[in-house]
Chains A and B, each alone.
Chain A
Amino acid sequence: MNYFKIIRKKIFTSLPIILLYYFSFYQFQTPEVGKIGIFSFNFQMILIYLYVLKFPEDLGFGNIFMAGLIHDTVIGITLGTTSLSYLALSLFTSYIRNATIRPVMTSEWFTFIPALFFSNLIYLVIINNFSNVSFYYLELLQNTFFTFLFFPIFHYIFCRYQELISKK
């Protein structure tokens, strides 16, 4: 019975990792992932930002790095590009976490803007300099905007989820 509880808790706490890997793999078959018409957004970035900021013990940097590598393989760009972008986001988020004394959702939401900017900047720089892939800047901008816009929704969902699994 005790083992069952441990396994169940392990599964529940592993949900962000599962989601991160799943969406990294999933993008290959369905490029419309995270897209609801024009409301395309980057779910992985929300997940990384949120978990590194709020629940760093549930999402390791190693997993983020691996998810980035998988994403690169799936997309077909230079290996390590997305990993570095995700890690840059994680670095920025870690800094915010360490610098913030009193975390508030709105402040977390608005600090997501420079985090996204920093991460996407690295992504763009690597793509432009280390790859021959053409890029739609407008789409990236749109994607970034909606990633920022949908953050509070996922913030609420995952905070509620973490509350629930911590009670069990």
Chain B
Amino acid sequence: MAYGFEAKNDSGNIIINDTIENLHFIGKASRGSSSAGHGTISGYSGSNSTLDGRCIWTYTITSTGTPVAFIKPADYDRWHAIIKQSVSGTTWTFEVMISDTATENPPELYCFVNADDIPVPSGENYGMLVFKSDGTSKTFDSRRQPLAITGGDNAIPPEDPTNSSGTPGTSTGHAWNYATNDHDFRSSNQYTVVPDSSINTSNTMFSCPSIAQAVYKRQMHGHKSSCGCWIWNWCACGYQDHDSTAIWWVMYRSAFRLRYDSVAETGYFDAGWTGYASGYQFSSSWESGGWFGGGGGSYSSGTMPYTAKTINRLDNAYIVADSSRYD
């Protein structure tokens, strides 16, 4: 370059220059309320009703720029994900989902914005600033801590979020009104592993939005045919069909876990799933038995969010960094 500023690291790669902005730490987002639930399939209490559960915490931070948020787990055994980010004026709101219904050990959210949008600390009129060629836009400002990363890669969860072998399906031939779930909808065993030597379970934080979603259901159809009125051995009123449908469903969001193997002395970035919502849907109908056979009728409850499938299972870059540099 003929003018400007450029700093290269020990590997000879540019880490500061006058054309591309560095990210700077603006603070930890404020933690607000939480909502826990779905430790069991909502509305159902029979077999295989147990889920992993989840807790959703809301965080806010004020920024004129769009923050890049890093999750610093307090409990590294749990799965974490930013499932939603929204803005009103300059107030950014994040929803962070954690596996398990426990409200203890919520994570912290470290937020970074580009140099030009950092709030300048009052009274700090010293340090190093790097400007773009327009002379007004900053690319670097030492008054706020610049982001230094320790690792990263690409993380995609497996297509099937459920612990049982294969995704749940539909079966027929059950007794009328039969409703006993036989599929394990928990996700604790379903994840892909990315070895990452920079990860530890003391102070590593990560940035990786949750984009993959899935909904899966187990559906059972029951049936019986009966006679409303017999005269001797003759079904005088004709046969009536009785049909039932039981559906158990769970909606998942991709979630991530940082793990360290002290034997292998390496870390792992796990990309998996956490159940976000669940439900039980049951319907039953029976035909009229005529004058002597009783009336027909039907019953139903519960609805699924959308057709069962996995979506948004696309390339998803994650970045890890050392949170202790920003404490």
Q: Do A and B come from one complex?
A: no
